Amino acid sequence: MTVVLAGVGADTTNLGALAPLYDDGRFEYVPIPEKTRETSETETLGSWTLRADGRTAADLTTRIDPQPVRGEADPVTGEALESWPLHRDPNFTALTYGEHRTSGYVSRLRALEPGDIVGFYAGLRGPDGNRSHRYLIGYFTVADVAVVRPETPRERREAILEANPENAHAKRARDGDLYRADKTVVIVDGREPGGLFDRHPIRLSDYYVKPGNERAQYYLREELASAWDVRAGGENMMYKPAYRCAIDSAAFREQVGPLEGRTPADARIGKT
């Protein structure tokens, strides 16, 4: 069994802000803005309601610069910002996740087998401007993995997309063609147990200056790397690497605790 940890969610590079983490342990998962309006996704920055109050994702920022923007020369602001679609990936309701990043993501995700786990981490900022960190916010168990390559025959490609209608990559595909037809896309179909934590995410990062470096960066916590037997991904978390962990799926679920009714103790690694 294998666990892969994937970095997801809106951050300063795509939304201009991090999702908040509150004093009571609640937090927000905000998907990244979509790169194009040509998607069947109905959730937008203006409709994505934050769990802790009546605000929306649009209230976290004043502008976005989707890259690349097709037919949009200027930053997206105002009413256009509120109506801009989200790239809802992962979709914790449908338990589906797609990825085309080549920096370890595609290779590690496509090697997953049924019963393995994909855990998802995101950058969150604490109250009162506290230091932001990377946090595990949820996971799901793998049911199946499908791979769409640039050379995949159209019939096979269309079949995969039709079988995963709630996946963000399928939603922005057009006439059986992926948004980035030159990229290999891995689509992970999930099953329970799985979902978004209700509160008390698990902090994965430390922030410090490492000997030999000139400035502080985010690094994977050593005790977590040991507890989850991290085998690939490196220790620097600045650019959201994909981590491959050799911990057994059942042991991982036991360590991270329940999805609902979480307590502060569930945010501590190494508990018994």
One-letter amino acid identity for 184?
A: T
State the CB neighbour count (10 A cutoff) for residue 212.
Answer: 5
Q: Which residues pair with 136 in a beta bridge?
A: 121, 202
119-150 per-position pLDDT tens digit: 999 999 998 777 899 999 999 999 999 999 99
Query: Quick one: pLDDT at residue 47?
Result: 97
Q: Kind of pairing, strands 3-7 and 202-203?
A: unpaired
Residue 47 sits at the vertex; the CA angle it makes with 44 and 51, to the nearest 5 degrees, is 120
Cα–Cα distance, 115 to 145 (Å, whole number) = 11
What is the predicted pLDDT for the residue at 271?
47
pTM above 0.75, yes or no: yes
- Inform me whether the pLDDT recorded for 58 exceeds 80: yes
Residue 83 predicted with pLDDT over 50: yes
State mean pLDDT over 50-54: 91
**For position 128, what pLDDT does the model report?**
75
Residue 157 has pLDDT above 70, yes or no: yes
What local confidence, expressed as pLDDT, does residue 270 receive?
57
Residue 70's pLDDT is what? 52
pLDDT, one tens digit per residue, over 193-251 is: 999 999 999 999 999 999 888 899 999 999 999 999 999 999 999 999 999 999 999 99
Identify the residue whose tokens are 């997309």: 161
Residues 6 or more apart from 27 whose CB is under 8 A from it?
19, 20, 21, 51, 124, 135, 137, 197, 199, 201
Tell me the pLDDT of the chain averaged across its residues: 94
Quickly state the pLDDT bin for 74 (edges 50, 70, 90): confident
Q: How many C-alpha atoms does 157 have within 13 Å on its Cβ side?
A: 19
